[in-house]
Chains A and B, each alone.
Chain A
Amino acid sequence: MSASSTTAPPAPPGPPARAAARSELSLRSRLFRLEGKAAPYAYVAPFFIVFAAFGLFPLVYTMWISLHDFELGSDMQWTGLDNYVWLFTNEKFYNSLFKTVTIGVLSTVPQLMLAIGLAHLLNYRMRARNIFRVSMIMPYATSVAASTLVFAQVFGRDNGLANWILSLVGVDGLDWRNGDLSAQIAIAVIVTWRWTGYNALIYLAGMQSIPGDLYEAAALDGANRWQQFLHVTLPGLRPTILFTIVVSTIGATQLFGEPLLFGGVDGGALNQYQTLGLFMYQQGWGYGALGRAATVAWVTFILIIGLVLLNTGLARWRDRDKDTGGRAAVHDTEQEARP
């Protein structure tokens, strides 16, 4: 059988046809090889093209603008690093940097602590659990404008809900909007209200990936719920916590919509709640100084990169003594976080 097949080749395809077939085959295989090499690039190209157009180009162009005197409605003039000198000698910049940090701490810390508590509660078996879980995300789905306008009424000086509650416990009403700390607290409350649920859901997802037998083992060892939370949940959540801290830090650095709608672009009579975002907006669209606004944008960008590196660096440093498993988990979360 095998001999006949080798000794009797099919007659019709003669030598020339066979040559053609061979060259066709090699073209095909070349194309195939080309496809194998090029196709992955073609598949990822859309992302990079979009990123170049909407991510990289604005970034580089903003850098370019920041080196110019560019008034809204007139032409650019090269001024080198003048804008940066102006920025770093400007009290208002340091003020806004400081206010960004204080409002950031006032909003991020309670927000993450509340979120972890809520996630812990939602992790228990209970009636209508999904309804509670979905309701967590509702504030996040509300627009910044809507929630800020409502909270501006709540924190109103005359007839505001917050002052009414204070009056119930015998405290005099505050001028929330015009005070220093009071305005910052009000803004922090808006931010906290919007983002707590979002973070709670992320923590909840993290909690569900902690194996149940760890809790069983802890319970067998006599740990109560609080001890379980401290010694099982928290260590298991560490990569998730790092992720939320990084994301919240970035959000806090870019805080803009809430203070703008709460009190306007000056951020109060003494700029007491003028964040970096507001400061940038004021330069660009309040005063029409686009060059200076671009400078603020770049400095903010570099600041955010610095903060993220600091955050992850601290986490790495803390993990050095721990087992490698923890570090791998951290690494994984970073990968998840990227897109």
Chain B
Amino acid sequence: MFSYTFHWNQALKALPQMLDGALVTLQVALLSMVIGLALALALTACRLSGNRILGGFATAWVEIARNTPALFQIYMAHFGLGNFGIHLSPYTALLAGIAFNNAGYLAENFRGALKAIPDTQTRAGRSLGMTPVQAFRYIVLPQMLRIAFLPVTNQMVWAILMTSLGVTVGMNTDLAGITQELNARSFRTFEFFAIAAVIYYLIAKAVTLGARLLAARMFRY
């Protein structure tokens, strides 16, 4: 019934090339998380500021990031902005799209974490003479980051998987891009994508495990 013959040797020969791609994947995902975290903190600050324009801007960002496909967000960064004469390379567009998405989800994680911290914590800090900013920085923020740590890890895994969408804007140096090119040349689709899937799986697992070890070291309370 099957007439397909597996050619794993041919596919495995390309493994070093694919692992190079995996490094690019990891790099894009990490950068998108760093940028996403910084943006999410800024969005959280906007929401807490009490300013309607800043708050509205942050809410709009979160709404769009969480309720439209990541694929569209990356498309917009590459082709959409291209219409306005802003030309981002596939790498930059992919990074921008994922960072935009990350920021939205992470800001929402932070909001949930903040809700779990009682107001009395801030009050106690203020009663000791701290300014609102000091009370936030030294009392609320560290607790918020701890509560949000696991959701942030999830988002990191999600960011790694989202990088594969780069293929649609012509990204050809990451794991998905390289796999797609190898596939186009050899038509060994099953073998190449199976190997790529295993690599994605291992990266995601390594990140989760690493995060767990990090959490055990960082959070002693």
Q: Do A and B come from one complex?
A: no
B residues sitting closer than 8 Å to A (CB atoms) are none
A residues sitting closer than 8 Å to B (CB atoms) are none
